[in-house]
């Protein structure tokens, strides 16, 4: 789990952004990622200019467009990873906390930092959990809403979370707004992309 030294719960909720003492390695990691993405975006635009429009170049356009989209989206995710997303609910705060905790236990998250207003859900990024690579969902509780974000901690770099933040939002919204609390089996990413009904 990434170190969130001196995390200020009240200021984080008030500003809707994680407020903590960021280490120099975290700052260096973020600057390094922005630098790499900037170079890739810059050279993608340069190559776009050199490609002459023709049916034979459609694959080149597709590859460059995909690379450019990935770099822009990854930069956005990295830039906003400390921003807290809000989900409102109309049940009692303790009931909301109970539901969130049951969700975490059922799906085998390593739950830590349990307090009246804060919970961490941790899960390994890959099967080699001994490497210390984890994805952490930070959840703050208020009377009628939760604030959360998802961050990653890796051995070498703290990559932005690209997809799972959207799935966790959908799960939280569902369980916090159910009249009758019921946990369904957790689906794989493939199932969520192709078999989930659109709400």
In tens, the pLDDT along 72-107 reads: 999 999 999 999 999 999 999 999 999 999 999 998
pLDDT digits (tens, 9 = 90+) for 12-54: 999 999 999 988 888 888 888 889 989 988 888 888 777 776 6
Q: What is the dihedral of CA 89, 97, 133, 84, to 10 degrees?
A: 40
* Partners of residue 85 on adjacent β-strands: 148
CB-neighbour burial class of residue 190 (10 A; exposed 0-12, middle 13-18, buried 19+):
exposed
Contact 84, 9 (CB under 8 A): no
* Partners of residue 150 on adjacent β-strands: 137
78 φ, ψ (degrees, to nearest 5) = -65, -40
Let me know if domain 84-194 sits in CATH 3.30.310.
yes
**33-47, 94-108, 114-128, 156-170: range with lowest mean pLDDT:** 114-128
Q: Distance (Å, rounded) from C-alpha 167 to C-alpha 172?
A: 9
3-state DSSP assignment of residue 123: strand
Pairing between β-strand 118-124 and β-strand 110-112 as defined by DSSP bridges: antiparallel
Q: Apex CA 153: angle with CA 128 and CA 187, to 5°?
A: 65
Q: Distance (Å, rounded) from C-alpha 194 to C-alpha 38?
A: 32
**pLDDT greater at residue 185 or residue 69:** 69
């Amino acid at each position: 789990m990434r170190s969130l030294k001196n995390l200020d719960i009240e200021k984080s909720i008030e500003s809707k952004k994680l407020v903590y003492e960021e280490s120099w390695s975290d700052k260096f990691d973020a600057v390094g990622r922005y630098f790499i993405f900037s170079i890739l975006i810059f050279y993608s635009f340069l190559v776009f200019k050199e490609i002459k429009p023709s049916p034979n170049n459609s694959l080149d356009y597709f590859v460059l467009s995909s690379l450019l989209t990935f770099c822009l989206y990854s930069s956005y995710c990295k830039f906003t990873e400390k921003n807290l997303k809000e989900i409102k609910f109309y049940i009692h705060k303790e009931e909301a906390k109970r539901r969130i905790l049951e969700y975490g236990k059922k799906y085998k998250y390593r739950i830590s930092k349990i307090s009246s207003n804060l919970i961490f859900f941790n899960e390994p990024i890959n099967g080699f959990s001994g490497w210390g690579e984890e994805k952490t969902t930070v959840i703050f509780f208020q009377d009628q809403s939760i604030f959360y974000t998802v961050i990653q901690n890796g051995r070498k770099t703290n990559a932005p979370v690209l997809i799972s933040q959207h799935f966790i939002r959908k799960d939280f919204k569902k369980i916090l707004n159910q009249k009758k609390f019921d946990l369904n089996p957790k689906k794989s990413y493939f199932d969520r992309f192709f078999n989930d009904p659109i709400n």
